[in-house]
Amino acid sequence: MPLPEMPPVGGVQIATDRAGFYKHERKDVLLMKFAEGTTCAGVFTRHTIGSAPVDWCKKQLDANEGQDIRALVCNAGCANAFTGKLGADAARRTASALARRIDCRQRDIMLASTGVIGVVLDDSKIASRLYDLEKNLRADAWHDAAQTIMTTDTFAKGASEVAEIDGVKVRINGIAKGSGMIAPDMATMLAFIATDATLAPGVLQSLLALFTRTTFNSVTVDGDTSTNDTCLLFATGAAGAPRISRAGDKRLADFKTKLEAVMHSLATQLIRDGEGATKFVKVNVTGAANPASARKIAKSIAESPLVKTAIAGEDANWGRIVMAVGKTEEPVDRERLGIRFGDLVAAEHGAVALNYSEAAMSAYMKNSELEISVDVGVGRATAHVYTCDLTHGYISINGDYRS
């Protein structure tokens, strides 16, 4: 999947390099430098064994309340997760080394890592590349950035939009990585989004949290949440748009639409690149008792190995959908349960549809993009979750991950 055009975002400079976290020749460290006064917000994994860089970012964002963030450094090839004090020290030294080079405080540096869990980050590899990284900073390196943070990804992921705030055009660019261990709960998912709008940290945090729910928290490849899931949103203020201090400000209407579009694009690209995936699937749940119930049912369908392998085999086995709905123990009216594959009705009123056609269902399942819709008949709440099929390719990739 080709990257879209990603013009520069005012106040953002980018550089990439090879630090040597991989045996083969590839870039694996990213530096993003931001203009003075840049604000930042973040959402992170709820995994109980969060990584050292996740701990670092959460602590520093609290310390400076999202103000004056000057840089992000991200490495691929080592997650620096489940590494105890040694990993925390490595993260701190990384931030300290970069802070000295660009003349800012340690707490003004954000960190992210992705790769193998249980290996302490060799921060000297990053420190040794900081001079060249700073020397090579440029505004038009978004594509390089997207490629550098990849691990098992088969394509780099990016999105870009232009919004208008009170008559001033502002740009929003975002990149992400992730292919497996994807079930963000805020996989191994990283996402970095930057805009040249002028937004207070509280506004950024409100918008990021709001749209994360409908984007990054509504996708799943395998149901496994990473130790390192991180999404950071930066606002440099370089476009000269008026400062917005309230998330409810009407002048943000277009910006909100475009920000959600960027995040939605990145999130669905994660699914399109699911490890071993051949099908992109949208799961819709309607008629649920409440939004939480709808979401739980949708994720149960989307994460079921039996459902996902049936999709891989192009088998419209709607009985597996029934199984995935019922095992949640959420409120369901069995006599009103309905299931559709695309526009084709598989089940209605709690039984197989009278006009059910196996031939039509089989033909539909050959599509690369599928939609499964379930109405559970007890209320008005809805949810949408995006997923992919489960193939032998997933086993091959993860069986050989450390080999």
Q: What CATH number does the domain containing 383 carry?
A: 3.10.20.340
pLDDT interval class at 391 (50, 70, 90): confident
In a domain, 28, yes or no: yes
Q: Are residues 267 and 153 in the same domain?
A: yes
Q: Using alpha carbons, list the distances in angstroms from residue 28 to 101, 259, 263, 322, 355.
A: 20, 27, 23, 44, 55
Question: Does 403 appear as a known binding residue?
Answer: yes
Q: Using alpha carbons, list the distances in angstroms from residue 398 to 139, 148, 154, 178, 267.
A: 35, 20, 14, 13, 21
Domain that holds residue 230: 12-272
Q: What percentage of residues in the chain have a pLDDT greater than 70?
A: 93
Q: Are residues 292 and 259 in the same domain?
A: no
pLDDT recorded at residue 131: 96
Question: Does 188 appear as a known binding residue?
Answer: yes
pLDDT recorded at residue 226: 56
pLDDT interval class at 397 (50, 70, 90): low
CA 69 to chain centre: 21
pLDDT recorded at residue 275: 72
Which of these is catalytic: 38, 45, 94, 188?
A: 188
Tens-digit pLDDT profile for residues 303-322: 999 999 999 999 999 999 99
Question: Does 80 appear as a known binding residue?
Answer: no
pTM for the predicted model, two decimal places: 0.87
| Mean pLDDT of the 172-196 span | 75
Q: Are residues 39 and 143 in the same domain?
A: yes
Question: Does 398 appear as a known binding residue?
Answer: yes
188 is catalytic: yes
DSSP 268: H
How many distinct structural domains can be found in the chain? 2
- What would the 3-class secondary structure string for 294-328 be? HHHHHHHHHHCHHHHHHHHCCCCCHHHHHHHHHCC
Q: Are residues 390 and 298 in the same domain?
A: yes
Quick check: helix, strand or coil at residue 202?
Answer: helix
Tens-digit pLDDT profile for residues 62-117: 998 999 999 999 999 999 988 999 999 999 999 999 999 999 999 999 999 998 88
Q: Are residues 167 and 114 in the same domain?
A: yes
| Mean pLDDT of the 151-159 span | 91
Q: Are residues 52 and 117 in the same domain?
A: yes
Q: Are residues 77 and 97 in the same domain?
A: yes
Average pLDDT over the chain reads: 91
